[in-house]
Amino acid sequence: MTRINALLAAIALTLPFSSLVGAVNVTVPFSAPSGAQTLSPTLLSFSIEQDNWPDWVGTNSPNNFTTAALQNFAALTGTPPNIRVGANSEDKTTWSPTVTINVDQFPPPNSITPFPEASSITVGDGFYQLSRFLPRGTHMTWGINFGANNATNAVNMAKSIFRAFQNAAVIASGVVLDRLEVGNEADLYLNNGLRTGTWTVNTYVSDWESIAGPVVQAVGITDATGPVTLQGASFANQGFTPSELFNLGILGSTPGKAISVISQHHYSAAFCNGGNFPLVSFLSKSAVRGNLSVFTDDISATHAQGLPYILGETNSIACHGAPGVSNTAGIALWVVDYTLHASTLGIKQAFFHEGVGYKYDFFQPISLNRSIVDGSPVDPPALPHVQPAYYGGILIDTLIGSTGSSQIVELTVDDSNTSGFAVFESGQLVRAVFINLNSWLTTSTGTRPSVHIDFGGLTGSATARRLVIQHADDTSNVTFAGQSFETPGNPLPVGEVVTEDVVLSEGLDLRSTEAVLVDF
Ligand SMILES: *[C@@H]1O[C@H](CO)[C@@H](O)[C@H](O)[C@H]1NC(C)=O
Ligand SMILES: *[C@@H]1O[C@H](CO)[C@@H](O)[C@H](O)[C@H]1NC(C)=O
Ligand SMILES: *[C@@H]1O[C@H](CO)[C@@H](O)[C@H](O)[C@H]1NC(C)=O
Ligand SMILES: *[C@@H]1O[C@H](CO)[C@@H](O)[C@H](O)[C@H]1NC(C)=O
Ligand SMILES: *[C@@H]1O[C@H](CO)[C@@H](O)[C@H](O)[C@H]1NC(C)=O
Ligand SMILES: *[C@@H]1O[C@H](CO)[C@@H](O)[C@H](O)[C@H]1NC(C)=O
Ligand SMILES: *[C@@H]1O[C@H](CO)[C@@H](O)[C@H](O)[C@H]1NC(C)=O
């Protein structure tokens, strides 16, 4: 590892001599402009598919790989990522008094979906008590089955969740329940067979109130100021919108009074039936902005109600990701640009959806004996390991820092595929990140191009740490500040920290398919 990192450091030092495609002069303000958004320390959070939650978190003791992978983030921002458990599986879950943890039924794997979701999930009280294995200080959202349209089962689930968070071991773990989410992507219920006949936003609202109402009454949630509240909307697309919910008076209903957050989901494509998605279509500044700008009206309508707005489930490509995109090194840059641009639009958190064996996972939490790409046997099994997207999270949380009150603006970078963001603490410029999304692929030839970044009129010196990717289409071998997180079975960083001195008046070069964090 040390040898590889020394090599990477040497490569980084040769950067000023690589060929340039252009230079951009970026104005980086000294102090936070009006309109800067406050960064949540949990901007980068995770959503977990509920079926394999026990594997992900651990059943008899914590899954130490998961713990360590989450602690790396907590060490940067001071707070572990928030965890939402649910998604499709929440609408297939039945609580049973006779089940200890869970009993699931899974369809057979195939090459498009090597790790399919359970078709049915029966859980007992022990299932929710596994929350104690998350890092201390983790805040959670748990899903409740609305798909089955069965108030008894929904109430059973809610009571079991509340019992778990009153359990001594869970209390002692310092893991906190923030919210319940009643129903996942209900705007898709006609498509997935969870409703038939008339299913409009109007029927949604009355139906939701008929299930969420008994839930809040059963567990004693009365408003949106208590320790436990409800997550609203959680729609897949914009089939139903937050504005429609507000206009239909949802916030005045008994359960609606408990809604403290509006969540929507977003993926930039879908691999449910396979398909070919070019990685370069993701490494595009305009595609990232095109995908997120559709939410601006929903965000302002939500803020107008005094509620925060989150992407409660998101990732690159729906149905667990696509090979050659979601599992690549290049997607780490997409994660950074997508999440930071989202934050500048007023999206408070982005919960990246994760499972076991999904292509878009930030990390694989357990050993896998099938390929995540096509389901072919992997022998010996691959140990738990970090995937490239993870480095995007590390860069984001390094940029956010640990004050809990940093602010962000997007910088105007006059290059169609290079973006930049500046971060302020106590109103003063502290850090910036620049992302060169232009694709450098294993098939690329010639000299790897760079863009030269000048820092407006800034003078003095700064320090830079790079997110180094060999090729956008690699599926491993990424480093941040010279360190690798990819040791099989252990997500702790390995290697010397490599930083560069930057003379601000001279600017810096940023290669295609690379990001740099500048500490001022
Ligand atoms: C996790 O670490 C703890 C403490 O080091 C240890 O007792 C436990 O056996 C480990 N669990 C696993 C699954 O490795
Ligand atoms: C609703 O859920 C309860 C509890 O799981 C179950 O006993 C009952 O059969 C369900 N009702 C229907 C109509 O499925
Ligand atoms: C930006 O990236 C996209 C996707 O790879 C590409 O189509 C476009 O040509 C790039 N723009 C420039 C100016 O290189
Ligand atoms: C969303 O992103 C995908 C993949 O990057 C892209 O193909 C699509 O055009 C984008 N959509 C919009 C509206 O920009
Ligand atoms: C993978 O492991 C599971 C048990 O965890 C086993 O049922 C399955 O047969 C194994 N598959 C292969 C391809 O070895
Ligand atoms: C960049 O812009 C600043 C003013 O914002 C100017 O002083 C400086 O000369 C410019 N640098 C280059 C290399 O164009
Ligand atoms: C990782 O990158 C280093 C540095 O470029 C290179 O020497 C090595 O072959 C790469 N390893 C893999 C597995 O791609």
Residue nearest to atom 2 of ligand 2 (CA): 153
DSSP secondary structure string for all residues of 171-201:
HHHT-EEEEEEE-S-GGGTTTTTS--S---H
> What's the full length of the chain, in residues?
520
Q: Quote the pLDDT of residue 19.
A: 52
Three-state DSSP at 60 gives coil
Residue nearest to atom 11 of ligand 2 (CA): 150
* Fold agreement (3-38+405-519, 44-400): no
Q: Does CATH place domain 44-400 in 3.40.30.10?
A: no
- Residue 61 CB–ligand 1 contact under 6 Å: yes
Alpha carbon of 58 to ligand 1 centroid (Å)? 10
pLDDT digits 0-9 by tens, 335-392: 999 999 999 999 999 999 999 999 999 999 999 999 999 999 999 999 999 999 999 9
- Cα radius of gyration rounded to whole Å, the chain: 23
* Ligand nearest, relative to CA of residue 341: 4
Q: Is the peptide bond before 377 cis (omega within 30 degrees of 0)?
A: no
Q: Burial-class residue 427 by CB neighbours within 10 Å (0-12, 13-18, 19+).
A: exposed
What is the rounded distance in angstroms from the CA atom of residue 205 to the CA atom of residue 203?
Answer: 6
Q: Quote the pLDDT of residue 22.
A: 84
Alpha carbon of 332 to ligand 6 centroid (Å)? 31
- Cβ–Cβ < 8 Å for 310, 349: yes
Strands 368-370, 377-382: pairing is: antiparallel
| In the predicted structure, residue 21 carries a pLDDT above the cut 70 | no
What is the rounded distance in angstroms from the CA atom of residue 467 to the CA atom of residue 463?
Answer: 14
| Residue 72: closest CA among 64, 80, 63 | 80
Query: What would the mean pLDDT of 423-428 be, rounded to a whole number?
Result: 98
Of all residues in the chain, the percent with pLDDT exceeding 70 is 96
- Chain mean pLDDT for the chain: 95
Q: Quote the pLDDT of residue 217.
A: 98
- Cβ–Cβ < 8 Å for 518, 502: yes
Q: Quote the pLDDT of residue 97.
A: 98
Helix (H) or strand (E) holding 126: helix 125-129
Q: Quote the pLDDT of residue 4.
A: 37
Query: What would the mean pLDDT of 70-98 be, rounded to a whole number?
Result: 98
Phi-psi region of 478 (alpha: psi -120 to 50; beta: other; left: phi over 0): beta
Alpha carbon of 381 to ligand 7 centroid (Å)? 22
Q: Which amino acid is at 53?
A: W
- Cβ–Cβ < 8 Å for 511, 440: yes
Domain ranges of the chain: 3-38+405-519, 44-400
| In the predicted structure, residue 457 carries a pLDDT above the cut 90 | no
Check the CA dihedral 162-168-170-171 and report its sign: positive
| In the predicted structure, residue 193 carries a pLDDT above the cut 50 | yes
Q: Quote the pLDDT of residue 238.
A: 86
- Residue 504's φ and ψ, nearest 5 degrees, are -60, -35
What is the rounded distance in angstroms from the CA atom of residue 133 to the CA atom of residue 329?
Answer: 29
- Report the half-sphere exposure of 287 (CA within 13 A, side-chain side): 16
* Ligand nearest, relative to CA of residue 24: 6
Q: How confident is the model at residue 20 (pLDDT cuts 50, 70, 90)?
A: low
Residues 3-38+405-519, CATH architecture: Sandwich (2.60)
Within 6 Å (CB) of ligand 4, which residues are found? 268-269, 281-282, 284, 287, 290-291
Q: Burial-class residue 306 by CB neighbours within 10 Å (0-12, 13-18, 19+).
A: exposed
What is the rounded distance in angstroms from the CA atom of residue 124 to the CA atom of residue 102?
Answer: 6
Q: From 96, 120, 152, give the residue whose CB has the most ligand 2 atoms within 8 Å, as the site to mutate.
A: 152
What is the rounded distance in angstroms from the CA atom of residue 387 to the CA atom of residue 326?
Answer: 10
Give the atom of ligand 6 at the shortest distance from the alpha carbon of 27.
5
Query: What would the mean pLDDT of 157-174 be, rounded to a whole number?
Result: 98
| In the predicted structure, residue 293 carries a pLDDT above the cut 60 | yes
Query: What would the mean pLDDT of 445-461 be, rounded to a whole number?
Result: 95
pLDDT digits 0-9 by tens, 63-73: 999 999 999 99
